[in-house]
C-alpha cells in the first residue's frame, strides 16, 4: 500500500482558503464508470486508500441523490486516524455531506441522515407551487427535519449558487463523488478545478455510463499533476489548465 504521509502530500492543496472543486472517480480502461451498476465493482484496497485520503482532506463531500441511493451511502464518517489528523490541522472531525437533488426522493429515516455526525446539506431547485409539483415540496419539507435544506431559484440546480453557499458556510474544499449527472452539471458550469481518476485494469464492455453526463460537448484543458501506480491501479490527478 502507499505510504500514508506521501499520499497525503501527493493530494495536498496549497491554499485551503481558496474555493476548489475536486472530483474523484474510477473507470475501467474502456471508460465504464460502473460494473453491475456500481462503482464498487471496479475498486480495490489501493483505490480505497486514495478514496479515504481525499475524504480526509475535504471540507465537504458532494454527492448526487441518485448515487447515494445506488451506492447505499450511510452517515458520512471518517475513521479515528482521519479524525485525529483533521483535528491536528484545524478541520472539523468529519467532512460534511452535501446532497444535490431535483426530486428529493430520499428517506428521512435512513442512516444517511440518522448516522450523520452533522445534518447533511440538501441542495435543490425551488419546487413549483402549482399542480406541476410532483410532491417534491413535501419531500423537501420532510427532509428539513433531518438536514439543512437549501432551495435555490430556478428549475434546475444552480451549481454556482450551491458552491458559493458551501464556501460561505466554511466548506471551500469540495470533493464530488458523483454521479455522472452531477459531475456533468459541474463541467457544464465550468466549475471543476480538479479530477482524480483511478484507472482500473479491466475492460468492462457493456453499456455502463461514463463518469460524466453533460448537456453539451465542450473541451476543457486539464494539466496532469501526477500519475501514481498503486498495485494494479493507476491514479491520475489533473488540474484545470488555467485557474479562474
Q: Give the pLDDT mean for 192-212.
A: 96
Query: If 0-12 CB within 10 Å is exposed, 13-18 middle and 19+ buried, where does residue 98 land?
Result: buried
Query: Looking at the predicted structure, is the pLDDT value of residue 217 above 90?
Result: no
Res. 129 pLDDT band, cuts 50 70 90: confident
Q: Characterize the bridge pairing of strands 20-28 and 148-152.
A: unpaired
Res. 241 pLDDT band, cuts 50 70 90: confident
What is the C-alpha to C-alpha distance for residues 190 and 220, in angstroms, rounded to an integer? 8
Of the chain, the percentage scoring pLDDT greater than 70 comes to 98
Q: Give the pLDDT mean for 156-162.
A: 96
Give the chain's mean pLDDT: 94
Residues 6+ apart with CB under 8 A from 163: 19, 21, 174, 191
Length of the chain: 244
> Rounded to an integer, what is the distance from CA 27 to the centroid of its chain?
15
What does the pLDDT look like over 58-71, one tens digit per residue? 999 999 999 999 89
pTM exceeds 0.85 for this model: yes
What does the pLDDT look like over 83-121, one tens digit per residue? 999 999 999 999 999 999 999 999 999 999 999 999 999
Res. 130 pLDDT band, cuts 50 70 90: low
Q: For residues 95 and 76, is the Cβ–Cβ distance under 8 A?
A: yes
Q: Characterize the bridge pairing of strands 96-100 and 121-125.
A: parallel
Res. 40 pLDDT band, cuts 50 70 90: confident
Res. 29 pLDDT band, cuts 50 70 90: very high
User: If DSSP codes are grouped into helix, strand and coil, which group holds residue 126?
Assistant: coil
Amino acid at each position: 500500500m502507499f505510504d500514508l504521509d506521501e499520499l497525503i502530500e501527493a493530494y495536498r492543496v496549497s491554499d485551503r482558503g481558496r474555493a476548489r472543486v475536486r472530483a474523484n472517480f474510477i473507470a475501467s480502461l474502456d471508460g465504464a464508470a460502473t460494473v453491475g451498476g456500481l462503482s464498487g465493482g471496479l475498486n480495490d484496497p489501493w483505490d480505497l486508500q486514495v478514496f479515504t485520503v481525499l475524504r480526509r482532506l475535504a471540507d465537504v463531500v458532494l454527492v448526487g441523490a441518485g448515487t447515494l441511493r445506488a451506492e447505499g451511502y450511510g452517515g458520512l464518517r471518517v475513521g479515528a486516524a482521519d479524525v485525529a489528523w483533521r483535528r491536528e490541522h484545524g478541520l472539523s472531525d468529519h467532512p460534511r455531506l452535501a446532497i444535490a437533488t431535483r426530486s428529493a426522493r430520499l428517506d428521512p429515516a435512513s442512516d444517511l441522515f440518522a448516522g450523520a455526525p452533522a445534518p447533511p446539506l440538501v441542495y435543490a431547485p425551488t419546487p413549483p407551487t402549482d399542480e406541476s409539483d410532483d410532491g417534491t415540496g413535501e419531500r423537501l419539507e420532510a427532509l428539513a427535519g433531518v438536514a439543512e435544506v437549501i432551495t435555490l431559484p430556478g428549475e434546475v440546480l444552480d451549481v454556482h449558487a450551491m458552491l458559493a453557499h458551501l464556501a460561505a458556510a466554511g466548506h471551500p474544499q469540495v470533493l464530488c463523488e458523483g454521479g455522472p449527472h452531477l459531475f456533468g452539471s459541474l463541467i457544464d458550469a465550468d466549475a471543476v478545478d480538479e479530477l482524480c481518476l483511478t484507472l482500473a485494469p479491466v475492460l468492462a464492455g457493456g453499456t455502463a455510463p461514463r463518469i460524466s453526463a453533460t448537456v453539451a460537448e465542450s473541451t476543457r484543458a486539464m494539466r496532469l499533476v501526477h500519475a501514481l501506480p498503486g498495485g494494479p491501479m493507476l491514479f491520475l490527478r489533473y488540474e484545470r489548465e488555467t485557474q479562474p
